[in-house]
């Protein structure tokens, strides 16, 4: 299955962001991709304007989800795209939507690990989700949904593998800072190696985020990567044979003595 990762810099204009999503999805479909992964905050960045995030979620999430579904159906390609969803409380969810090529919503993953680190407090802006992890079926692959800070938690991605995932789709707004680029590249490759699975990771390119979207195969080989390009696309052929080979020569999942399942 050909999988694309899109990186771009969304703005305070949610409608304009959806136009970019449509254009990049069309480009991915023209390159034969069956799935495209967008970065965290693709709907609208949390710091894009002075409007409270809950109001942004109330105003834009329904139209965003409908728009993503329409684009997926029109282009005949599955889409994974995050935004802010009204939770019914004072704080919205940071939600990843997975939509199939017919425009049907396969699943919603509400971010479980909030970024309360490096002098930042996401929990002041976002309601933590408690209904994950989430795996959806796209083509021949079971795809696990991962939202940014989640990638620092090996038990989370291992839970997705226990649920049958053989490809992890990571949507991120990876913030710049000392060693942060190295953390990103190391963690994305590590999640692929330790789980012998494909990882396709997309990150924002807003001024405070690093970009560096990448696709890593089950033996940790970076098959495609972007730099700091403000708007760019990568496409990789994620094949099941590579998973089978990795799990034959490196049977770490069979060799385990401690099993951690989904909670």
Nearest to 70 by CA among 34, 30, 21: 21
Backbone angles phi, psi at 240, to 5 degrees: -70, -30
Residues annotated catalytic, as ranges: 40, 111, 148
Check if the beta carbon of residue 111 is closer than 8 Å to that of residue 145.
no
Q: In whole angstroms, what is the distance from residue 140 CA to residue 243 CA? A: 12
Tokens standing for residue 228: 């700091």
Q: Please give the full DSSP string across 128-172, using - where no structure is assigned.
A: PP-S---EEEETTEEEEEEEGGGGG-HHHHHHHHHTT-SEEEEEE
Backbone angles phi, psi at 202, to 5 degrees: -120, 135
CA torsion angle for 109, 114, 115, 116 (degrees, to 10)?
180
Q: In whole angstroms, what is the distance from residue 45 CA to residue 105 CA? A: 22
């Amino acid at each position: 299955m050909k999988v694309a990762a899109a990186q771009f810099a969304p703005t305070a204009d949610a409608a304009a962001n959806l136009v970019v999503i449509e254009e990049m999805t069309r480009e991915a479909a023209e390159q034969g991709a069956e799935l495209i992964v967008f970065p965290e905050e693709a709907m609208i960045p949390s710091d894009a304007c002075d409007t409270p995030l809950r109001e942004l979620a109330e105003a834009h999430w329904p139209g965003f989800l409908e728009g993503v579904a329409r684009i997926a159906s029109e282009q005949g390609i599955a889409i994974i795209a995050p935004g802010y969803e009204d939770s019914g409380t004072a704080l919205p969810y940071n939600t990843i939507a997975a939509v199939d090529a017919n425009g049907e919503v396969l699943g919603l993953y509400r971010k479980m690990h909030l970024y309360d680190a490096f002098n930042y407090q996401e929990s002041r802006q976002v309601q933590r989700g408690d209904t994950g992890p989430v795996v959806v079926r796209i083509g021949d692959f079971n795809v696990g949904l991962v939202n940014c800070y989640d990638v620092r938690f090996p038990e989370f991605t291992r839970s997705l593998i226990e649920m049958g995932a053989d490809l992890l789709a990571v949507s991120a707004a990876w913030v710049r800072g000392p060693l942060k680029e190295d953390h990103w590249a190391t963690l994305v490759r590590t999640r692929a190696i330790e789980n012998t699975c494909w990882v396709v990771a997309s990150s924002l390119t807003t001024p405070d985020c690093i970009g560096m979207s990448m696709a890593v195969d089950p033996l940790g080989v970076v098959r495609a990567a972007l730099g700091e390009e403000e708007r760019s696309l990568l496409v990789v052929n994620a094949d099941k044979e590579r998973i089978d080979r990795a799990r034959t020569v490196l049977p770490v999942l069979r060799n385990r003595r401690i099993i951690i399942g989904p909670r």
